[in-house]
Amino acid sequence: MPGCIWQGELPVNQTKRKGFYMGTVYLVGAGPGDPELITVKGLKAVQEADCIVYDRLASPELLREAKPGCEQIYVGKASHNHTMRQEEINRLLAEKSREYEKTVRLKGGDVYVFGRGGEEGMYLKDCGVPFEIIPGVTSAIAGPACAGIPVTHRGIASGFHVVTAHSQSDQLAEIDFRAMAEGKETCIFLMGLGKLEEIARGLMDAGMPGSTEAAVISCATTARQQVCVSDLEHISRKAGEARLVSPAVIVVGQVVSLREKLGAE
């Protein structure tokens, strides 16, 4: 049990034992931004939670669904503040499961898409804390969709890559641009706005034509949604001129052209 706060086996039922609960932790995907895009099951978990541990990308409106007295703990990154370290979040979840019957860990999008949800689940498992996963609608797919861009389309894109431009070691070095440039799949980048120029360059250096359609969707599915469309060669400059802000999804591929028909504007 590496790094685990528990000593020995703990019971995995939810009965009240000597003043504390051996409760359940629900890892809940909050959806991409629009609070109505949480799942029915996720919303129910939020409404029934005794404690909600939430991060920056989970829609604040969802917290209003919490019952009175629900403890709400913010563990996300605010500018100028330090993020709570992942190990501390893990430990917090295990601690809250002793205090409460139902603890919700509310995370933006889907729990297991770049949200370190897997690490939280593994830690809880190691500690013998029961947890349940309630998947969410990921921004990787819903972001483009709400901007009029289907990530697959018959005859145009038979699949998609979803990659992060941010990683533990050296960010872009790990991206297999060649595989992405050679295939016919849509390329979707999360956490990439600050590296848009390098991403575009990486794809073009790997052989993708500079004329390939590209889009950046900022604050997707919210009232602040902004979309910038260009080709690969100019997307970085255009997104800069439009002053797009994070969070943003980057989409590269022919499917972007479908926005002309499927987009709202």
Active site residues: 55, 77, 191
| 247 binds ligand SAH, rule: CB under 6 A | yes
| 37 binds ligand SAH, rule: CB under 6 A | no
| Whole-number Å distance between alpha carbons of 75 and 125 | 21
The one segment of 8-16, 173-181, 213-221, 257-265 that binds ligand SAH by CB under 6 A? 213-221
Q: What is the per-residue binding string for ligand SAH in 38-57, x denoting contact by CB under 6 A?
A: -------------------x
Answer for the pair 183, 212: CB distance below 8 angstroms, yes or no. Answer: no
- Of 51, 95, 58, 42, nearest to 73 by C-alpha is 51
Minimal distance, residue 96 CB to ligand SAH, in Å: 21
Residue type at 25 in one-letter notation: V
Binding ligand SAH (rule: CB under 6 A), the pick from 33, 35, 148, 253 is 33
The one segment of 7-15, 125-133, 217-225, 251-259 that binds ligand SAH by CB under 6 A? 217-225
| Whole-number Å distance between alpha carbons of 256 and 245 | 20
| Whole-number Å distance between alpha carbons of 199 and 66 | 40
Residue nearest ligand SAH (C-beta atom): 109
- Which positions ≥6 away from 59 have C-beta within 8 Å? 30, 31, 33, 34, 35, 38, 222
Between the alpha carbon of residue 31 and those of residues 16, 78, 177, 261, the distances in Å are 32, 20, 28, 25
| Whole-number Å distance between alpha carbons of 134 and 102 | 13
| 59 binds ligand SAH, rule: CB under 6 A | no
| 227 binds ligand SAH, rule: CB under 6 A | no
Minimal distance, residue 164 CB to ligand SAH, in Å: 7
| 66 binds ligand SAH, rule: CB under 6 A | no
Nearer to ligand SAH, 22 or 193 (CB): 193
| Whole-number Å distance between alpha carbons of 64 and 34 | 14
Q: Which two tokens stand for residue 102?
A: 């139902």
Nearer to ligand SAH, 37 or 94 (CB): 37
| 86 binds ligand SAH, rule: CB under 6 A | no
Q: With CB under 6 A, what is the number of residues at the site for ligand SAH?
A: 24
Q: Which residues bind ligand SAH (CB under 6 A)?
A: 32-33, 57, 108-110, 113-115, 138-140, 143, 190-191, 217, 219-222, 246-249
